Amino acid sequence: MTDFTCWTYVQVCQWLRDIDLGEFCETFVEHEIDGATLAAISERMSERLIPVIRKQSLFLAQLEKLKTNQTSREHPPRSSDDSSQAQSSPNTSLVFPTVLRMAIDRRDSDLKSASKTKLRTLLIQTLFDHLSKKSMYPTHLQYIELLSILIMDHPFLR
């Protein structure tokens, strides 16, 4: 199988047919969903495309399987000494906007301020966006896990 992020609309429709969701091909074409767009679909987006919960659940499970197979096949595990230019926490794949990354690197006190600051709001929004990509309704444990990793990576945020 080729890299699904390079699929055309036709290939996405074929995949939908293969997983017994061919009835949604027209909707996917109307929304211009090619392979790259398919890879970026979140749980919330899928609600608009597939309104039936049972079918939406099937779609999300198959999409996750597609992503997992793609990742394990095309991206072998990185060694611990592999230096990456990505602006993300190693354990969470959390990508920070540049201004936030710079504030974290300089340990900006606005991030810890008890009052509402732009940087603190941006950090909270970034964390929320990260969890929202994984689940429409993040659990308390998901928040705790993400914050634990964040604090382990950046102890000054405690």
Distinct helix (H) and strand (E) counts, the chain: 8, 0
Hey, which residues does 88 pair with through a beta bridge?
Answer: 95
Write down the pLDDT at residue 152.
83
pLDDT digits (tens, 9 = 90+) for 49-89: 999 999 999 999 999 998 888 655 544 444 334 333 333 33
**Token representation of residue 88:** 């993300």
The answer regarding whether domain 4-74 maps to CATH 1.10.150.50 reads yes
In the predicted model, what is the mean pLDDT of the chain? 80
* Over residues 117-130, mean pLDDT: 84
CA angle 97, 85, 4 (to 5 degrees): 85
* Over residues 10-38, mean pLDDT: 92
Write down the pLDDT at residue 80.
38
Write down the pLDDT at residue 71.
56
pTM: 0.47
Domain boundaries, the chain: 4-74, 98-157
Which residues contact residue 107 at a Cβ distance below 8 angstroms, ignoring those fewer than 6 apart?
Answer: 156
Cα–Cα dist 13/26, whole Å: 8
- Percent of the chain, pLDDT > 70? 83
